[in-house]
Amino acid sequence: MNQIYESRVRRIFSRLSSELLAHMRREVEGRQIGDMELRLVYSKCMPAKVRAHIEGFTFKAPLYELANFADEMLRKLRAEEKAARQSTRWEAISVINSTTTEISELVKKICELLNQLPCDRQL
């Protein structure tokens, strides 16, 4: 897939699920594709964590309700992922800081030991 199509796909899939549904509806407008077929394709476009919940959604519910439910799931999923990334970042910073402190202490000890050695140089 060339870069133009890749960027288009990324742009489409970065949207909320309701925006994706609206985009899909515009794409199939005027064609003989009903909500049932659109629902199947739409569900397959969702991330696996969201898909597991929306596939159990009743077929009697309108497609827009499914999209609104998926929007909420995506918002929660994105918030959880963001929190996990920030937590990992802070853990990494903490490890780096403690390692830097340990290295600094070791350098001080080495300097103290070196200062205790007799000096061979004549002044």
Q: Which sequence spans correspond to the domains of the chain?
A: 3-116
What is the mean predicted confidence (pLDDT) over 11-36? 79
Q: What is the pLDDT of residues 37-46, one digit of tens each?
A: 888 888 887 8
- Triad 97, 101, 82: Cα angle to 5°: 5
Nearest to 74 by CA among 11, 30, 10, 14: 14
Q: How far is CA 35 from the centre of its chain?
A: 30
Q: Supply the DSSP symbol for 122.
A: -
CA 10 – CA 47 distance, rounded (Å): 13
Confidence of residue 59 (pLDDT cuts 50, 70, 90): confident
pLDDT over 90 at 30, yes or no: no
Q: What is the pLDDT of residue 108?
A: 94
CA 35 – CA 70 distance, rounded (Å): 16
What is the mean predicted confidence (pLDDT) over 78-95? 88
Greater pLDDT, 47 or 67: 67
CA 58 – CA 105 distance, rounded (Å): 63
Token pair in block for residue 102 = 């340990």
What is the mean predicted confidence (pLDDT) over 61-84? 87
pLDDT over 70 at 9, yes or no: no
pLDDT over 80 at 105, yes or no: yes
